[in-house]
Structures are given as C-alpha cells and as structure tokens.
Structure 1
Amino acid sequence: MARTKTIYLPPGRLRAWVDKFAADHGNPLCEVNNSKVGSGVVLSCPDGFAVRLGLPWERLTPDLSAEAWPEQLAAAAADIGTCGLILLRRGGYSVGTSVQGQLTWSKSGTRYVQSRTAAGGWSQQRYARRRSNQADALVLTATEYVAGHFPAAKPSCLATGGDRDMLRQLLTDARLAGLAALPATHLELNADPRQRQLAEVAQELAGIRAVITWPAPGFNSPS
C-alpha cells in the first residue's frame, strides 16, 4: 500500500524543490490537470514516488500550463487575500485571520470539557449533560470572536481544523452564513489549538501544498 505525506512549500522554493525531487527520484512524468473543482500538477517518477502540487484551496488554483506551472502556482499563492482560520477542539480554540502567512488578528483560549465517564445510570446522564454544556460554552466563545471579526475582515478563503462537529455548530451561526460559500480546507489536529499552532498554520497555508506518495517496501521500480 502506498504511503502519503503532505508538506507546504514557500512559493519561492517551489522550483528548487521540484528540481531536487526530480534529481532524487528520476525524471518525472508531468501531468497538468485543470478542472472546475481545482487545478493541480502531478509529477510521477520512475521509482514510484509521486507528488501532487496545488494551492491548499483547490478552487483558487488557476488553470495551469505545462510550461509555466511553477511560476503560475507561485503567483496564485501570492494573490490570495485574507484567510480565515478556525481551530477548535474540546481543549480550546484558536481563531484568526492572516495575509500572506502572517496573522493580522487572532484570539486563543482554553476551556475545560469533561471527558467521557464509565459511570452508568443517572450519573452517566448527568456527566453527559455537563460535558455537552461545557462543549457548547466553548463553541459559543469561539463563535463570538469569529462573528465579531470575520465579517469586517472579509476573508477570501477559510481553513478549519479539529473537531468537525464543533466546527459545524460554530458555522451554523447566522452571522457567519457567508463563510460556507468560501473555498475551504480542513486540517486534522493532533493537539489542542494554541496561538503558536495558529501562526504555523497561517504560514503553511500561504504556500504550495505538496502531497507526496511513495510505494510500500518491496516495490520494484520499472527498469
């Protein structure tokens, strides 16, 4: 089974990274894909390594040409305006806006949400209600900050990360109705959101997304 890794490349490093990828894995076959959903480039190397390159928000990736796609991708990344960022898990929230990888506004906080309990009967129901109320309070806090800032900032794209159910609850707020129509991407989080993590996400999403795949051990590359 093939393995996969996603990295984000600063636009200015794209050409050098592609040259090194080709040097390490062999002269790649280049496939340019332009579609209504999103454009991108796939480089497939003789040793089984491949990489798909595009913007994190596929709907913002322009049509690309076989000759000039590195320059076109870099220019498109530099053209993206304000990005809305919402990271939300049971341990906290971190929300903000960024331009070209730099945070222009942010707010982060922690909030205790009780974990599940093995208790049964009335105790289990009581703990479940308490846990639900704590989660609702966390979502409400994050919602108030987002609703108080995003409409004026007018983001052109949206990145979310963390608990999908909590994010859906946040985005149902009527004041945030316009966010649903934005080009969006979702990130899986392995830790509770913090300010530093939000800054790292902002910087990554200002670059080119590279999804690298490579074969499992035992793959025999073609001669």
Structure 2
Amino acid sequence: MVKARPAAGGGRWVEISPERIHGWIDGFYGRHDGATEQGLMLTGLSNGDTATLYPPPGLADVPDVDTLLARVVRPPRIAVLLARKGAVAAGVADGTTIAVSKVERFYVQGRTAAGGSSQQRFARRRANQADAATARATNIAVRVLLPYAPGVPADPDDAVSALVCGGDRSMIDAVLADRRLSALAPLRHPHLLDSAEPRLAVLEAAVVDARRIRVHLMP
C-alpha cells in the first residue's frame, strides 16, 4: 500500500509498505529514464527529481538503498505506544504480529459551557482525571513495554530496537518522562503516527503503518 500527503516546505511524503518498496524504486528509475543513488537518495536523470528514503523504525543505521531493501524483508521487533486522554494502547510487534499488548480506556470529562465557579470546578475535575489517565497509561507502558527494553530480557534478540508512538504528543511526552521508562525513551522514533482513540484494531493498524518506508519526493 502507498500513502501520500503534502510535505511542509515543499514536495510530498509517500509511505510505502516493505512489500512494495522494491517495485516502487524500480518505477522511479523507469519514470526518470534512470537515476543515480547517493546513500538513501535517488536522483532522476531526466529532470533531477529526488526521492529521499527514510527507513522504518529500528533500521536507523541503514546506509544505502541496497541495504534497506535487504533488511526490510525481516523488520526488527518494535514497541508501539498510542495514547490519548481517553485511552492507551501498548504493544510489542514482530513484523505485523503483535506478541503482547494491552488496551485500556479512561474516563476524562468533556468540556463544559457553564461559567463561573461551576466551570472552574469542572476544569479542576477534568484536569485531575487527565492526570490520573496519564498515570495509568504510564503504568501500562511500564508493565507491557519495559520487559522488552534493551538490556532487560535474558535473550538480547527479545529486546525491541525502536519505540513508535502515536496520538496525543503531550500525553506521550508525559508518559515517557517517567524515569521507569528511561531505557525506552531513547528508542523513541521521531515520527509521530496519526492515531484515532486507541483500540486493539487501531494498535494493529499502527503496527502496519510503523513498518512503512517514508519517502520525501521533490518536487
């Protein structure tokens, strides 16, 4: 599957599943009467169009296109954390298979149109509920993901090589600020996945999205 959207600053982003990336690169060569490669950048011979490939989480050390094509065949084990004020989903995935997961919903009161002291009371209650939801989300992340942090499993092959996050950035930041997750925080991938309110189906879709190779096309 190929997903595309405009890129800030120009060009567009294309997200390509590992199963289709080889054919997509061949198509780039064909559309431009050939191309040159420098690292992970392709440059079309006919008009100078460029395609810069960004490896999926866990493959940050890939130096060139050939290595990328070889390594996406067997994607690394990754951790996935999705969070919004009303729910959290945490899981560990091998390819598109979720090995372990936990999804939980929280109650956080919606905003109120009331004024005066009532509005202040509702705001305090909502803030307290949001803090409690963040604390519960943190405990879930610790329980589900921390056993797979580097250096924790007896077998190093059981450890995750990246942490992919999605949903509410501020809540994710608050969860990962907990010092119990300090072994996982450095593995956080910079790209934040778009995510609906976490459910098991949303977590499964996020695992598929996380495996895609992101390509920045110019122009």
TM over 0.5: yes
Structure 2 portions without partners, runs of 5+? 1-8, 150-159
1:12-23 alignment, distance < 5 Å: 12-23=19-30
Determine the structure 1 residue equivalent to 2:82: 87
Indicate the SS of the match to 1:75: helix
Partner residue of 2:208 out of 195, 203, 215: 203
Q: State the superposition RMSD in angstroms.
A: 2.7
1:48-197 alignment, distance < 5 Å: 50-57=50-57, 60-64=60-64, 69=65, 71-78=66-73, 80-154=75-149, 155-189=160-194, 191-197=196-202
* TM-score when normalising by structure 1: 0.76
Residue 205 of structure 1: how far off its partner (Å): 2.3
Indicate the SS of the match to 2:72: helix
CA distance in 1, matches of 2:178, 2:199: 23
- Residue 111 and residue 17 in structure 1: after superposition, are their counterparts in 2 closer, same or farther (change >3 A)? same
The one-letter code sitting in structure 2 at the alignment partner of 1:15 is H
Alignment partner of 1:26 is 2:21: no
* TM-score when normalising by structure 2: 0.77
The answer to whether the 8 Å contact 2:195/2:202 transfers is no
- Residue 139 and residue 8 in structure 1: after superposition, are their counterparts in 2 closer, same or farther (change >3 A)? farther
Q: CA deviation digits over 1:25-72, x for unaligned, max 9?
A: 423543424xxxxxx3244475686432121338723222xxxx2x31
Indicate the SS of the match to 2:190: strand
Determine the structure 2 residue equivalent to 1:37: none
Count of aligned pairs: 201
CA distance in 1, matches of 2:14, 2:77: 23
Determine the structure 1 residue equivalent to 2:153: none
Structure 1 portions without partners, runs of 5+? 34-39, 215-223
Q: Give % identity.
A: 31
